[in-house]
Amino acid sequence: MDSKEVKKWYYVLPIISILMFIVLWIFLSIPADSMIPSPKETWLRFADICVHPISQAILIVHIWSSLRRVLIAFAFAIFLGVLLGVGLGWSKTFYSIFDPVFELLRPIPPIAWIPLIILWCGIGELPKIIIVFIGSFVSIVLNTYAGIKDIDPLIINAGKVLGANKRQLLFEVALPATIPAILAGIRTALSSGWMCVVAAEMIAARQGVGFLIVQGQQSGDTALIVACMLVIGVVSMLMSTFLSKMEGVLCPWKFGKTK
């Protein structure tokens, strides 16, 4: 095969891969007692929830309720996470004070917080936002911290020699240099935040995609469950694509094309 033909394969193979997945899926859904809904059933159920409300909301409203929780939690997680990450990376004193506590709390899975948070805050919007916050905060802190630690010392020296005072060194040199790392943190945080919101909604919610899945479970509606699972995957994929585009816009010097 010449290289042109090889290249063609790289376009064809993903399509074959998805087709095979669908074929396998159809095959598994054929038996009469199968717990797996067929692609067609799933698609029809999906089309149905797009127009017919469940718990007084059509699909897009459910997606928006989940997304809204993630975005609110995110605003806080980015602000506080960058603050803590920069503090840890920039000041040895700050690091000595806060790192031990952070290291202790960090490995606790966000989902393990759910019972406690529900006891504290009930089952309104707040507990879900807090869970998502916990889920996304950690990776933003870690990435920001690593980003600050990773700055080329030469760049810092260049800033000093050019006359930057301490504040300027942080805001004009260190922070801009850390933006790519912060963006990487946001990307990881977004996918873990999205997972957390679904988990939180499965435990207590009246709206949201996690809630829909639980509805499916309670009514034995596997088509609804699978349709929602796919929706979760697609939303996450779209968010990730959006972030990649944002990286190119916010950080052309790192992610943009050379020419």
Partner 1 sequence: MEVRKNKIMVENLCKTYHTNSGDHEVLKDISFNVEENEFLVLLGPGRCGKTVLLNILAELEEQDSGKIIFDGGRPEMGNIGLVFQKYALFPWKTVMGNVEMSPKLKGVDKATRQANAQEYIDLVGLHGFEKHLPKQLSGGMKQRVGIARAYATEADIMLMDEPFGALDAQTRYSMEDAIINIWEKNKRTIVFVTNNVEEAIYLGDRIILLSSRPATIKKEYKVDLPRPRSYTDRAFLELRNEIVANTDLDV
**Could you tell me the smallest distance in angstroms from the CB atom of residue 212 to partner 1?**
43
Longest dimension (CA), the chain: 76
C-beta of 165 vs 219, nearer to partner 1: 165
Query: Among residues 121 and 251, whose Cβ is nearest to partner 1?
Result: 251
Nearer to partner 1, 179 or 230 (CB): 179
In angstroms, give the least distance from the CB of 91 to partner 1: 20
* Smallest separation (angstroms) from partner 1 to the CB of 107: 32
Considering the complex, what minimum distance in angstroms separates the CB of residue 258 from partner 1?
A: 6
Q: Which residues of this protein are in contact with partner 1, per CB under 8 A?
A: 152, 154-155, 157-165, 168, 172-173, 176-177, 179, 251-254, 258-259
Between CA 111 and CA 105 the distance in angstroms is: 13
Backbone angles phi, psi at 22, to 5 degrees: -65, -40
- Closer CB to partner 1, 47 or 162, in the complex: 162
Q: In sequence order, what DSSP letters do the residues of 123-180 get, joined into one string?
A: TSHHHHHHHHHHHHHHHHHHHHHHHHHTS-HHHHHHHHHTT--HHHIIIIIIHHHHHH
Helix ranges, 30-113 (H): 39-51, 59-90, 92-105
